Amino acid sequence: MNCCSSQFSTTPVIIDEAPKNSDQVLVQLRRIRGQLDGLISMYEDERTCIDIVRQVIAARNSLSRVARDLLTGEATRCTKERRLEDLDELLKELFRN
C-alpha cells in the first residue's frame, strides 16, 4: 500500500482537497450510524448473508473515508501551520506496530 491509497479502496486519496469541517464529519458519521442501524434491522429480519455483508462493506468504506478525511485535514493543518513536529508525531502514532 502506498501513501496515496486507502486500505479498502483502490481510489487514490486526493491530498490537496479541502479538509472536511466538523459539520461535514458529523453528517458522515450520522449517515454511518444509519447504515449500522440498517444492518441491525437486516440481521434481525434474517436477510441474506450476501445482503448483510454488502452493507457491512459499505459501512466499513464509509468509516475509512471519514478516517481519511480527518487525517487529511489534520495533516493539512499541521503543514499549513508549520507544525511539522505535530505531523511527525501523528504519522508515528498511525504507523506504529
Residue 9 lies in a domain: no
Position 3 scores a pLDDT of 38
How would DSSP label each residue in 35-85? HHHHHHHHHHTT--HHHHHHHHHHHHHHHHHHHHHHHHHHHHHHHHTT-HH
- Quick check: helix, strand or coil at residue 13? coil
> pTM (2 decimals)?
0.62
Q: Average of pLDDT values for 49-77?
A: 90
Instruction: Compute and round to an integer the Cα radius of gyration of the chain.
Output: 16
Contact criterion met (CB below 8 Å) for 20 and 73 = yes
| Structural domain boundaries enclosing 32 | 21-94
Number of domains within the chain: 1
Residue 82 lies in a domain: yes
Of 89, 88, 78, the closest CA to residue 19 belongs to 78
Residue 51 lies in a domain: yes
* Residue bearing the bigger pLDDT, 43 or 83: 43
- For residue 81, give the CATH number of its domain: 1.20.58.1000
